[in-house]
Amino acid sequence: MEILQSETLPIRQSEDIVLVRTAVRKTAIACKLGLVDQTKLVTAASEIARNTLDYGLGGEVRIEVIHDVRTGVRLTFTDKGPGIPDMQRAMTDGWTSGKGMGLGLGGTRRLMDEFEIASKVGEGTKVTIVKWSR
């Protein structure tokens, strides 16, 4: 897989989530993602960015344009927060702490073509999501 373009943005305050959404939308448009896929990607990015800020105590997102057989956008969110102690519960549909959009990790997973999460208590969380062009 080839990385055609990348940028890393901090997620340290609420205003950064707006900057992440804007950068993700611009990248999705540049990759010629359709409007529905743009919306799915921006929605998922917003949810995970909010989680990174609220639960991970801040972190960053790496936005990459990737190419394999097709072109896509890969977002990798990382934080050095407390980690997720109960991954099964966190991935359960309908479970929310009440702070986010209510989409949750399970909803985010369904919006994306690819979804990976790794978390270690006391060390942080890494979420990688991909949306491919059609």
106 alpha carbon, distance to own chain's centre = 12
Q: How confident is the model at residue 92 (pLDDT cuts 50, 70, 90)?
A: confident
Q: How confident is the model at residue 102 (pLDDT cuts 50, 70, 90)?
A: low
Residues 6+ apart with CB under 8 A from 30: 65
Q: Is 113 helix (H, G, I), strand (E, B) or coil?
A: coil
Q: Where do the H-state alpha helices sit in the chain? A: 14-30, 35-54, 87-90, 104-111
- What's the CA gap between 41 and 132, in Å, rounded? 10
Task: Delimit the domains of the chain by residue range.
Answer: 2-132
- Fold observed for domain 2-132: Heat Shock Protein 90 (3.30.565)
Using one digit for the tens of pLDDT, what is the confidence trace for 40-71?
A: 999 999 999 999 999 999 999 999 999 999 99
Q: The whole model's pTM is what?
A: 0.93
- What's the CA gap between 92 and 43, in Å, rounded? 18
